Structure 1
């Protein structure tokens, strides 16, 4: 049996806890697909995320070193977001997860309908 928390800290649980929320993966995938983006463009691309939740998600991803925020000293101020190299190393795995979800969603929906 593999033990993921030999020192009381579980890296798998920690990373999945941060990335497994409703919006983080969508933000990362959106930034990967579009490159450098402004807040309003990310918001439009995702659609149903609130501005507050998008702000919280971007700050969390920035604190984990996955998203880079660049502020331009202009009036009005301009802020752009992009992926870091750490996030770029995660993208192939996320793409595999997206592909898996797209391929398996019909069967998952069918299974859900059978269990109701």
Structure 2
């Protein structure tokens, strides 16, 4: 009936879409990685990140790079497969901007 819901798996989760949009927006304004000093900085509730990022990694959408330093630093970037979602994410952001200004 709805392929994204039936077969989308990871992408059917709204927290995943929020995290992908955050990574996408951050990487558009940087050297290609979304750098955060704590998991909370991605813009969603920590339990969602704790669950969703590993799932996105396993699906090959996101790469997580941990820098062992104090304070902790983690970078997220879209893989080639994840970057193939950029046109859809861009369209979603444009739609939201038109709708909500």
State if a TM-score over 0.5 links the two structures.
yes
Match of 1:13 in 2: 6
Tell me by how many angstroms 1:78 deviates: 3.6
Kindly tell me: are residues 13 and 45 of structure 1, through their superposed partners in 2, closer, same or farther at Cα, counting changes over 3 Å? same
Q: TM-score, normalised by structure 2?
A: 0.70
**Number of residue pairs matched by the alignment:** 95
Pick from 44, 52, 57 the counterpart of residue 57 of structure 1.
52
- Residue 11 and residue 24 in structure 1: after superposition, are their counterparts in 2 closer, same or farther (change >3 A)? closer
Query: Which residue of the partner structure matches residue 25 of structure 2?
Result: 33
Any gaps of 5 or more consecutive residues in structure 2?
28-32
The yes-or-no answer on 1:43 pairing with 2:35 is: no
Output the aligned Cα RMSD: 3.0
| TM-score normalized by the length of structure 1 | 0.62
Cα deviations by residue, 1:3-45 (Å, 9 ceiling, x for unpaired): 99xxxxx677222x321212111111111111222262x6334
